[in-house]
Amino acid sequence: MRRDSLVFRRLRVGVIATVVAAAFGCGRAEPAPVLSPASTRPPGSTSPASTSIVCEALLGRFVGLSDELGKSAPSAPLAGRLWVRRCDLGTEGDELRVRLAGPGWYWAERDAGSFHLRQHVYFHVDAELYGKIDHRIGFKNGIVSIWFHATHANVDVAPLGRIHPRSDSAVASMLRILATPLPPLNVDARARRQVESEVTERFEAALAQGYTVLYDIERRQADFALSRVPAGTVPRHPFSDARHWLVNELVLAAPGGVHVLGPFEPARELAMDVRVTRGAGIGWRTVCAPELERAFAAVEQGEPGRVPHAELLGAGTLSGSKLHESALAAQRCRFYVVISALGAEVSEAAIRVRLP
């Protein structure tokens, strides 16, 4: 069998995983393993073999959420994460259906009259995506392209924890105190409803767009975009040289929150490139997946995830606009890289995790 034909067949097996990752990552989440071999099904399972590939690619991932989720802004930084805790794949008629659920958070800076919101907002998402894969596969300039047409999306968002807008108005501040027991007048309750509506609309808009899944055969690089990318072209990322990458994204790191990259496989040395584009810089930590997942259970109740310091595998801080290169040593466990802001201001940084 020709090598190109084998690539096409395997791409079809893994395409749904990458499409769904693209939906939530807006083109910057770590690519799902498109060329994974077919997975075995659990005993007695009647689901298609590809189901396990889809969910294996997404379960446990902290998928990036764009600051402009649902809008056509390919250069927008990632302002939060969705932790995929549930994944189901099925069909309805001739359409594919993917259901994802889990807690998430993003940094919100909103001004509405005298009210201001500047905090990490936590929420739980339960989303279903419906659509079809284009029967035509593109192949140009050594790049395989597969297009996914989304027909519709159903999204349920529930805010978690407290939302604390502040007001420049003394009258509004007094009303908040007096009206606390009265939901129609409660400013915090109104803020929760506004956040719920905004996040729901943004997720639905993002999921309802078309997607492109790509594979550069020569570089063995999987990629995707939250749009229909012409055949033979690739999406834009902050690092654009020929190095093979696992993560290649622009993040907005705000005080009090984190970005979680991975998980990455053990016994494999990696390198991380960072270029700070705004703010004081970032800190990074590596921690085994089981320890971090246990510590982040609080996220499902709307509390910040706390990195377990006693379990750190490595750590460092990076500041200044020069290109920083850090070695991520091979570990004994699957691990995550956790990114946080230095200081009390928002920082922005281009981050790439790659093979050395």
d(CA 81, CA 125): 11
Number of domain units in the chain: 2
In a shared domain, residues 258 and 211: no
The pLDDT assigned to 168 comes to 45
In a shared domain, residues 76 and 37: yes
In a shared domain, residues 132 and 268: no
Tell me the sheet residues that pair with 144: 139, 215
In this structure, the dihedral spanned by the alpha carbons of residues 223, 226, 232 and 238, taken in order and rounded to 10 degrees, is -60
Q: Residue 59 in contact with residue 87, Cβ under 8 Å?
A: yes
Beta pairing, strands 323-328 & 211-216: unpaired
The pLDDT assigned to 4 comes to 52
The pLDDT assigned to 137 comes to 86
In a shared domain, residues 52 and 122: yes
Q: Residue 333 in contact with residue 290, Cβ under 8 Å?
A: yes
In a shared domain, residues 143 and 248: no
Query: Mean pLDDT across the stretch 138-147?
Result: 90
Q: In this structure, what are the phi and psi dihedrals at residue 157, rounded to the nearest 5 degrees?
A: -120, 130
Over residues 148-160, the pLDDT tens digits come to: 888 888 889 888 8
Under the banding of pLDDT at 50, 70 and 90, the label for residue 225 is confident
Over residues 108-125, the pLDDT tens digits come to: 776 655 456 677 888 899
In a shared domain, residues 257 and 321: yes
Owning domain of residue 292: 237-354
In a shared domain, residues 208 and 303: no
Residue 66 within a domain: yes
The better pLDDT of the pair 310, 278 is held by 278
Overall pTM > 0.85: no
Residue 291 within a domain: yes
In a shared domain, residues 143 and 268: no
Question: From start to end of the chain, where are the E strands?
Answer: 62-66, 78-83, 86-92, 95-112, 115-140, 143-160, 166-167, 211-216, 221-225, 245-253, 258-264, 270-278, 282-288, 312-318, 323-328, 335-341, 347-354
Query: Mean pLDDT across the stretch 1-19?
Result: 55
Q: Which of 129, 139, 97 is nearest to 11 (CA)?
A: 139
Mean predicted lDDT score pLDDT of the chain? 78
Q: Is the pLDDT of residue 171 over 50?
A: no
In a shared domain, residues 249 and 312: yes
Residue 181 within a domain: no
Query: Mean pLDDT across the stretch 239-244?
Result: 90
Residue 261 within a domain: yes
In a shared domain, residues 262 and 127: no
Residue 188 within a domain: no
